[in-house]
Structure 1
Amino acid sequence: MADPLVLPQDADLLQRVLRVKLSPSEHPAPPGPLVALPGLAAELAAEQAAADAAAAGGGAADLAGALARRWSEMGQRRSLVDRAIMSLLSEAADEGTHAAPVVDRLAACYGRGLEERRRLAGLKAGPPAGSLELCEYILELCVSYSAMGLTNPQLFPQPLAAQRAGPVRLADMLEAEMSGGAALPSGFIVRLAEHASAEGSLDELASPLLRSVSERMSTNASILLPSFALPLKVLVALLEAKPMRLAFVRDARFQPTAPIVPTLPPQLAAYAAQLAQRTAGAAGGGPNGRVYEESLLGPFFKPSGFPPESVAEAVAAGGPQASVAQQLFANASKGSRAQLESSMTTLRLASASLAQGTHAALQALLKCKEAQQPLFAWIAGAISANTERAKDWYAHGQAPSADLASLGFVYNLARCLLKLTDPFADHASPHAAKIDGTFLLSKHRFDTSSETKLLATEAALMHWLDPRNQDAADRYLRHMAREGDGPPAAGLAGGDGAAACSGGDGTCAAADGGGAEDELALEVSASFGTISEFFFLALRALRVSAVPAFKRLGQIETQAHRIYVELRRATKAGDPPDALRVLDDELDKLTARRLCFEAHLCDREMSGAALRLYLLTMAWLLRLVAEGQGAAAGGPKAPDGAPAPPGLAGALPLPTLPLHKHVPRVFAAQPEHLMEDAVLWVKWIGRYEPETLDGLSEQQLALLLTFCVVFLGEKGYVNNPYLRAHLTEVLSLFVPHKERAPASAHGRMAAALASHHLARRYLSRYLMAFFVDTEYLGSHTAFHDKFTYRHHIALILEHLWTLPDFKASVVEAATGSDSDRFVRFTNFILNDTIFCMDEALRKLAKIREVELLQRDSAAWAALTDDERKDKLTELRTAEDSGGYYMQLANEIVHMLNYLSTEPLLVAALMRDELVQRLAVMLNSFLLKLVGPQSIQLKVADFEKYHFDPRALLGEIGQIYAHCAPRAEFAPAIVADQRCYRPELFRKAFSKVLRFQLSEGELATFGAFMAQCQALQSEASQLEEDLGEPPDEFLCAITFEVMKDPVLLPASGVHADRAAILRHLLSDPTDPFNRTSLTVEQLVPAPELQQQIRDWRTQRIAAARAAAAAGGGGGDGAAGAGAPSGADPMCVDG
């Protein structure tokens, strides 16, 4: 046996860690064979021989201790290890070890080194002297030589592929590990990156490596591929090392600087040219949405199951991303619910996996303080570059431009940000108080200067931010002068002793009474914490992703329903198979698209996180108002000043009602979309995922109700009436009705509404006030929109009427200081009832007309194809709108019915400006439902159009009965000479009402019929006695003799007070010259009134005298008030 060349413990260490031997006699340490290093062994043998020769001169003792003395210094032992590793990497080529890349071999050595270090540290007798230090040195050298082998791959013999890969070999190793291969040793990547950073070679190592991982993700973008997330997992592993995080955000490809024009196929040359021109004209030539998607971090957010939307994506319909809908939802309109649910679950799991990975990557970057600001800047830049995604593209049949990032990219970014906000998303969290309200007033991340604010105008905001700027002040004052009665959002006040601008003279006074100019300034913070960053970045990301995606989902559903109805019609009509196949294919595509959107947007984890964030947003907006009012001191308060209900204990400060007329400036200056998106999200969740709303805590439900009630009632705090309209849609979710499921949610949410202190006190009157406000929504679709929102209000009020506290608040509103508002509310109820009923009955008549024509096969066959097509189009239009308007009419008639059960409310209905209109409306409906023309309403399927004539007639009869006891009512009924007919009352009574009304109502109705008939005789005689009145005694509006004449000052026309008051309820203008007119401006005309009275007295006296002298007369006058036929103004064909 040859003499040993090194210390036994060192030889053992080299065997165990590097798997090398220095002499053939060395026995292998398990497991596996050892690699011989003959060159190094020869060198060591020569050195040993020289040492032995020197020791021989000193005798046998010196010779025996020569080996120990030679390796007594640690430096020599470290040198041995260094030489061994160099020999392993270069000299061992003869044994074929270069077949593996350098980093693979050294990583394996590093792993064995970790095991050896643990073994040595665990020895009971302790490790041999210096062994632990030497083992640590081996680990250090493995890392050092790995870095050399990666950044300078030609330095050592290794496969050609490894030489070409360079640092990218690390990504291959990590991917293999993620796929179930050998794992890299713990801490190897971190130590490697730290070494490269210390040696100044980090960029050489990290840049090609990180770019390669990003490119792999870009080419592996289908979310359905089993390996789609591998590159993301590799990135997360790399970012465990702090130097890698720094290298990532400092890479030239991390922060885009220029736009990218997408490469399009030749058939889209014209579109490509248009896109290039658009990109060139972009402001500042800055990066567009697409360049962020293709930046270093962008590809990791790209995979999704959303169908293609842009022109470029549509052309690439054969690609992996575009085929998601085809692969998962083929023949979706015919698939079973179980199959579709399974496919949606598959997509949701993949999306959740991606979100988890991107969240881990961002969290890793955020752990590095130096990486935080570049990362926030990248996120904000990506959102800003895709701001146009927030537009309502599809409403005009136009897809988003191809230079924007894909919907999947912005959705995944938003979902990742939601995970970052979730730890503080509870509105009662102490961290929520750190949200800085001036974040979006600065240009720190976003430029919101051109965006619509909750209240503030551009001129006001510029003045508030810089009150010393004379130019801004001048623009502000000019704006106030145009307003006429004060500044925009008159009385907008600073939150903490800031100034309140009020009055129309251009002056501003501090809210606390001071007038210092610097108190006018709305101070914007110089820096912002991570809570504010996360909060606003997430809200802005949702603004360009999930929010417009939900709108698009609604549009897809509308399109799919239209195609479904058309397909049913075409099938029933026997259209050609090819035409049916086209419709069927289109329905399949739309259904598949819908399911893709639902899989992402209705994912419980994602939608729930967004809901929590939006509830926090609501709490934060309430806090801005409360702090502006100084309500923060003294703990939480209910919005009416009472102690906060249990559900809000510990929550953020709440404002008090009614809100102060001075709106806090920091609130007024917030972008409108913060409130709009929050409200829309709750509305959508209520529609698509009601169980998520059902899962909210009592505290969260109380917060939601508080927000809705406060801003529904305080229109001075919300300029946009549509925002308040959406609040009614949210409130309707708390009301039990058959359109919602599951039923369990009804009781829980309804209980929250019933017990909410603020709602009990204010909600009913706020709903009635907004019912009126919907008349003035101000958009081109306002006329039809108002019916949608009034439908929700009707549902809510119907439910509230069953709750004693809410019912009492309605009565109080009608009889107290707000009685004029209740009168306006009632006026619009009458307006809607008349319009909707007339429209519905007219459409039913049209439906019957076409149905009769279709039943007459000869007449139908005699029509030309175009004529039949026109008739079918008329039928579909009538069916769509007829059922809609009939449903609305039923709701409003029912509302009027239950309101009229309260005598105090009936008294309000009997006011001069309402009673005659109510009477005419009821008479008109009675005529149409039981009069001669009622046969025209007999369609084939009443239920299909929500038409139940017996039930409707029963409700109308009850309204008659409820109002009958009032002395004003019967004369008003009889005064309607166009539609009042005693025989119609008798017919309705005998055919329907005697089965619909209660015993008491029947008695009241019967007495009322007799009273009306008697009054009709009197009225006919009076009309004959009076004869033809002078023109100056006639109302200019109704052309009837005036009872209480008033002068309209602008036009100089006289009108009866009741008539002009009815007009002003709907239109605050003079009907003869359209100038502004209020009730207070009406001028009484007592002299004219006395003249009319005198004339009436004289004519009646003269008629009686003539009757007495002639012994009677007036034959035939009793029936003069009843027209012989149906007036076309009352009976619609």
Structure 2
Amino acid sequence: MPASFDQWQHTAVSNIFNITLDRREAEQSGWNKTYLRELAEELSSDSSAPSQLTASVADQILIARLSLDPQADVMSDDAEHITILANLAKGQTSWDYLVACWKMARAEESRVRKSLPAAEHSKALAVLEEIRALVISYAGLVLQSPDMFPNSTKPNGTPLSPLVLVDSLTHVSSSISSFGFSTTSEASTSHSTADLTTKFETIDGDDLPVFLNELAVRFGNDDGLDEILGPAFTELTRRIRDGDRGSDTPASSSSLPMHSTGQAAAPASGGVNPAALNQALANQDVQSVIAQLLAGRMAGAQPGAQPVTAPLGAIAKPNEGLTIAGLEWRPYVNAIVEAVEIKPIANMLAHLSNFDPEHVTGSRIELDSLLGPVLRLSAFPDAYPSITQHYFANAATQTQQEADANFRSIQSTMEIVHTLNFRIFNAIVRSGAPAREKVLAYWGKACALNAKRGAMQVRQELVASDGYMVNLYELLLRFAEPFMDAGLTKIDRIDLEYLRKQKRFDIQELTRINATEAEAKEWGQQAQAEPAGAPANFITEVFYLCVRLNNLGLGKAVRGIDEKEKEMGRFKKRIAEIEADRAMWSALAQAPQYENFLKRAKAEVERLHGEIYAAQSQLMAPEFLQKVITFNCFLMTWLIRVAEPKAMHPHTQVTLPLPQQVPTRFRMLPEHVFEDICDVMLFLSRVSAPLSESAKNDLVTFCTTFLSSGWYIKNPFLKAKLAEILFYNVIPWGRHTNGVLSDTLNIHALALQHLVPALMNFWIEAENTGSHTQFYDKFNMRYHLSQIFKSIWSNPKHKQQIHDQAQASGSDFVVFINRLMNDVTYLLDDALDKLQELHTKQSESEPPRAESTSSQEQQEREGHVRQLEQTIKSDLQLGTEFMRLLIDFTAETTEAFMTPEVVDRLAAMLDYNLDLMAGPKCQNLKVKHPKKVSFEPRNLLRMIMSVYLNLCSKREFVAAIARDGRSYSKPVFEKAGWIAERYMLKSPPELEAWAGMIAQVEEKRQMEQDDEEDLGDVPDEYLDPLMATIMKDPVLLPRSKAVVDRSTIKAHLLSDSTDPFNRSPLKIEDVIPDAELKAKIEAFIAERRRKS
């Protein structure tokens, strides 16, 4: 132990700086310690004894030591000076020396306790802290101005720059200290400097956070921390982007300088011979010393060679860079994560010019921004096609076990990526308000520049990749988690007026939920004229960014998968068709072309399959899906809150239906906000994502609210998506035999009260979507509704709502059942007509008729047959479902079907279809492979008979059958009963009721015939002009002035809201009773009956 504190300080300073002011000490160390002769002379001018070293002279020591320049002084004739220079570490730059000093100061701290009494410890540590602070200052300064001291270039030509920090940040150790020994061990007598000729000194292990923190403290207050650390962090993300897996020199993207030819330069041979140099020094042979030093200077140097560097934005064409298939990206991202734990560094990153670069495009922001390369790491094929090849090269033939293993591998890696992304940005956001604003501006710019991702068609090269945008979305979801608590206690902190005033991203061109373009423009202009309020809080900012990214990030990725699945389906369908026709084209001259197409189509299917798997592997990660569900449920609740006048939901349950007056704040919302929820929930439904009970309740509340208040949503296809969401969640799958939502729909208070009328109303609305495909759209929408009805039909409370609707005055129930009848009528008519056509086409394909046709004619006929089969299958599947629903409604609400405007049409439709199924034409319905087209004649006959039996007790229905002179036939009805008995389609009591119905119909027909004979010729003015039957309740149509029977016009208006004579708009309330004509008709009938 040293005799005193002063002795310890002298020794510590000497060791830390590896210098001495005593020539004898230098000689004894073999000149390992640098003798600062000029400084020694300056400090000891008043004494012949060497001066004591203290922290107070550290500044002078550093200047003296760093000013030594072996290259500049090689021509000196001062042998001692040359000896000092010759023993400096070879290749050592000012940075290397300062880092080594800092490390030695850190190592000295651990020896204080052993070297000094306890009373001196704090004093000693203060000395070491003072020295480290000084060294840190110089270390930062030499990175800002590398040429401020000699020795700013390595022998191989690599210049000192801030990039020397890269290896330290990524934990790449140079292993050899500038002082010739490790900082964790005692001094070694060896003095190897080979490593420093190509590598810079690094700070390793636990020392790095301390070093960075001290740099941040010293230079963090606008003193140049960005100049010192910014280039290194830029280099880290550049390497991720460009696929650079590291280098021997942190200043270069290659391990060696590059010649103009692009070939790496080989290291030069030669250099200093230590033994020869020491011998020359001992002999004081100046010329030999100079020769040795010149040789050392030339070793490895290439005149004019410059290291290759690449600023972050320099790449001309994006490539994959490092991918999640390997681990090379981890050190670079981890380096950023660890560094931003130091608040000044986190703050500094946000203020770098490339953190949020100006004049960047949508596709370049992920490549040119500082953290873009980190944010874009993903499995999506648009940025990383190699991921698809790596994991899903043979997706179509992979077993489920193999696919699941690949999914888990990608998902576990992406969870790490997402966690690291959040740690980086969370640290920056928390580093201070200015940095937080920079981050928000960057996120907003990413949305603004990629607005085109929200379009139906977009050129991928103009926008950012799915990976970047989805990862950004996932990142924002993590920031949103704190305000999406179970009790939604912070939902009222979201500013409802934010979209009017914010400037993060432009919504001017976006379609609104329920406002015209002009209204939206005026709404925005009003906001600009209002005084600026307080800045939005962080919760509001994050929420609306999540809303935008729900569309631009996840929404676009989901739409991309849907498009690829459809494209793959088209290829598969075409492949199957061509393979089915192989016998026809195999002998043709075009056969090679067919084979070539099959080969290319199968390759496309394989590619698409792999790309779908790759995208799904990331999107279907359980942790990600739960975040998505949580946010979209929160968004559903928020939308209801915006829609209700008092904006109290969910703290006060919403009251349905909503008011007719739609709040402006809701009308002006971008339509995509609503549609994104639907698209996301549909995606989640298709991939069977698990929903919590809370999520189920939120979803049912949302769907019920806006289906029951349809006037809030202008676009009918959005409401259709609500029905589609419910549909996917009520169909059975896996252990959910009743579907995911069936139980919730049958206990949810709002659904029990409002779902049935909402479904009926939308069934009616679906008739007119405004689309050129509306005739076919309505069938798909109504199919979804039919399945929802099926899932709730057994619930007594839902049934009560059905009865209430059927009995309510002013209800549209009759319109609903009329539309249902229309659908059944069209679908069965079309299917049965096309079955007859298919029967004919199949007959033409049988020998000998088929032998007389050419191959081309056979191909055309087969194509027509396939088209017929597809149409028939679709018609029958939909028609069967709608017929099942008609059976249910006729059983429950019999009276509603007895109105004059309904009962005749229903009877006529049933009679017509029964005649086809059991009448003379039934033989024409026989086709090959009826199951292929979903044709089950017995089941269809059973269903038709069920409707009859539900209504046969009603005399209005019996009378309607009797009045049907077009299709009713007693033999056909009797044959239908015989078929039902033979194949046990109906029970004996039902067959008995069937026979009784036939008898009643016959009796009624006879009565009708007798009445008709009694009336004789009826004047035309008493006949309905549309039905040619005598009118019972004539009414005048106000615009066309035509007179028709009330039941006739009511039946017409159920399907068409116009005057049948001039197509002008018409409501049943507009018709005018013709009391005078009615009296004449009644008098006419009474007179004729009296005479008979």
TM range (shorter): 0.7 to 0.9
CA 1:672–1:1006 in 2, change beyond 3 Å: closer, same or farther? same
The equivalent residue for 2:886 is: 896
Query: Given that residues 465 and 523 in structure 1 are in contact (C-alpha distance below 8 angstroms), is that contact kept between their aligned partners in structure 2?
Result: no
1:1089 aligns with 2:1078: yes
Distance 2:420 2:68 in 1: 41
Query: Given that residues 289 and 403 in structure 1 are in contact (C-alpha distance below 8 angstroms), is that contact kept between their aligned partners in structure 2?
Result: yes
1:619 aligns with 2:637: yes
C-alpha distance after superposition, 1:1085-1131 (max 9, x if no partner): 222223333333444555x4xxxxxxxxxxxxxxxxxxxxxxxxxxx
Q: 2:475 aligns with which of 416, 421, 431?
A: 416
The equivalent residue for 1:358 is: 421
The equivalent residue for 1:1118 is: none
The equivalent residue for 1:498 is: none
CA 1:119–1:749 in 2, change beyond 3 Å: closer, same or farther? farther
Distance 1:39 1:80 in 2: 11
1:944 aligns with 2:942: no
1:595 aligns with 2:613: yes
CA 1:1058–1:700 in 2, change beyond 3 Å: closer, same or farther? same
The equivalent residue for 1:646 is: none
Query: Given that residues 1037 and 1060 in structure 1 are in contact (C-alpha distance below 8 angstroms), is that contact kept between their aligned partners in structure 2?
Result: no
Shift of 1:808: 0.8
1:240-255 equivalence runs, <5 A: 240-255=341-356
CA 1:338–1:1097 in 2, change beyond 3 Å: closer, same or farther? same
Q: 1:876 aligns with which of 866, 879, 898?
A: 866
Q: 2:556 aligns with which of 530, 548, 559?
A: 548
Query: Given that residues 105 and 132 in structure 2 are in contact (C-alpha distance below 8 angstroms), is that contact kept between their aligned partners in structure 1?
Result: yes
Distance 2:576 2:24 in 1: 89
Which secondary structure does the structure 1 equivalent of 2:632 belong to?
helix
1:398-437 equivalence runs, <5 A: 399-400=458-459, 402-426=461-485, 428-437=487-496
1:1033 aligns with 2:1092: no
The equivalent residue for 1:752 is: 744
Instruction: Read off the aligned partner of 1:1046 and give its amino acid letter.
Output: V
CA 1:372–1:857 in 2, change beyond 3 Å: closer, same or farther? farther
1:792 aligns with 2:791: no
The equivalent residue for 2:580 is: 572
CA 1:98–1:790 in 2, change beyond 3 Å: closer, same or farther? farther
C-alpha distance after superposition, 1:84-106 (max 9, x if no partner): 78779999864463446654554
The equivalent residue for 1:1053 is: 1042
Distance 2:882 2:511 in 1: 35
Distance 2:660 2:532 in 1: 23
1:250-399 equivalence runs, <5 A: 250-258=351-359, 287-291=361-365, 293-308=367-382, 321-368=384-431, 369-393=433-457, 399=458
Instruction: Read off the aligned partner of 1:455 and give its amino acid letter.
Output: N
CA 1:125–1:458 in 2, change beyond 3 Å: closer, same or farther? same
Shift of 1:292: 5.8
The equivalent residue for 1:906 is: 894
Instruction: Read off the aligned partner of 2:416 and give its amino acid letter.
Output: S
Question: How many residues get paired?
Answer: 959
Output the TM-score relative to the length of structure 1. 0.78
1:761 aligns with 2:753: yes
Of 658-667 and 83-92, deviating more is 83-92
Instruction: Read off the aligned partner of 1:973 and give its amino acid letter.
Output: I
Instruction: Read off the aligned partner of 1:899 and give its amino acid letter.
Output: F
Q: 1:1009 aligns with which of 998, 1001, 1020?
A: 998
1:560 aligns with 2:591: no
1:721 aligns with 2:710: no
Distance 1:791 1:299 in 2: 46
Instruction: Read off the aligned partner of 1:189 and give its amino acid letter.
Output: L
Query: Given that residues 618 and 707 in structure 1 are in contact (C-alpha distance below 8 angstroms), is that contact kept between their aligned partners in structure 2?
Result: yes
Query: Given that residues 20 and 36 in structure 2 are in contact (C-alpha distance below 8 angstroms), is that contact kept between their aligned partners in structure 1?
Result: no
1:135-534 equivalence runs, <5 A: 135-154=128-147, 155-157=149-151, 158-160=153-155, 163-164=158-159, 166-177=161-172, 182-183=204-205, 185-198=208-221, 200-220=223-243, 221-223=321-323, 224-258=325-359, 287-291=361-365, 293-308=367-382, 321-368=384-431, 369-393=433-457, 399-400=458-459, 402-426=461-485, 428-461=487-520, 525-534=533-542
1:674-713 equivalence runs, <5 A: 674-688=673-687, 690-693=688-691, 696=692, 698-713=693-708
Q: 1:75 aligns with which of 42, 53, 56?
A: 56
Distance 1:118 1:4 in 2: 19
The equivalent residue for 1:663 is: 662
Distance 2:88 2:721 in 1: 74
Which secondary structure does the structure 1 equivalent of 2:421 belong to?
helix
Query: Given that residues 249 and 375 in structure 1 are in contact (C-alpha distance below 8 angstroms), is that contact kept between their aligned partners in structure 2?
Result: yes
CA 1:921–1:175 in 2, change beyond 3 Å: closer, same or farther? same
Distance 1:121 1:455 in 2: 76
Distance 1:163 1:146 in 2: 18
Shift of 1:837: 1.3
CA 1:119–1:436 in 2, change beyond 3 Å: closer, same or farther? farther
Which secondary structure does the structure 1 equivalent of 2:461 belong to?
coil
CA 1:1096–1:361 in 2, change beyond 3 Å: closer, same or farther? same
Output the TM-score relative to the length of structure 2. 0.81
Distance 1:240 1:823 in 2: 68
Distance 1:840 1:106 in 2: 88
Distance 1:457 1:747 in 2: 39
Shift of 1:784: 1.7
CA 1:6–1:730 in 2, change beyond 3 Å: closer, same or farther? same
Of 123-132 and 370-379, deviating more is 123-132
The equivalent residue for 2:808 is: 816
Superposition RMSD on alpha carbons, in Å? 3.5
Distance 1:532 1:783 in 2: 43
Instruction: Read off the aligned partner of 1:171 and give its amino acid letter.
Output: V
Instruction: Read off the aligned partner of 2:441 and give its amino acid letter.
Output: A
Shift of 1:1021: 3.7
CA 1:843–1:137 in 2, change beyond 3 Å: closer, same or farther? farther
Of 863-872 and 1015-1024, deviating more is 1015-1024
Distance 1:178 1:977 in 2: 98
Query: Given that residues 971 and 1015 in structure 1 are in contact (C-alpha distance below 8 angstroms), is that contact kept between their aligned partners in structure 2?
Result: yes
Which secondary structure does the structure 2 equivalent of 1:545 belong to?
helix
Which secondary structure does the structure 1 equivalent of 2:891 belong to?
coil
Shift of 1:979: 0.7
1:1-150 equivalence runs, <5 A: 7-14=6-13, 36-40=32-36, 44=40, 51=47, 75-76=56-57, 94-95=86-87, 97-99=89-91, 102-103=94-95, 106-107=98-99, 109-111=101-103, 113-117=105-109, 120=112, 125-128=118-121, 130-150=123-143
CA 1:948–1:874 in 2, change beyond 3 Å: closer, same or farther? same
Q: What percentage of aligned pairs have identical amino acids? A: 27
Instruction: Read off the aligned partner of 1:421 and give its amino acid letter.
Output: A
C-alpha distance after superposition, 1:340-378 (max 9, x if no partner): 233333333343333233222221221232112222122
CA 1:119–1:828 in 2, change beyond 3 Å: closer, same or farther? farther
Shift of 1:237: 3.7
Distance 1:842 1:121 in 2: 101
Query: Given that residues 707 and 762 in structure 2 are in contact (C-alpha distance below 8 angstroms), is that contact kept between their aligned partners in structure 1?
Result: yes
Which secondary structure does the structure 1 equivalent of 2:401 belong to?
helix
Distance 2:111 2:999 in 1: 110
Unaligned runs of 5+ in 1: 54-65, 260-286, 309-319, 394-398, 470-520, 637-650, 1105-1133
Query: Given that residues 18 and 85 in structure 1 are in contact (C-alpha distance below 8 angstroms), is that contact kept between their aligned partners in structure 2?
Result: no
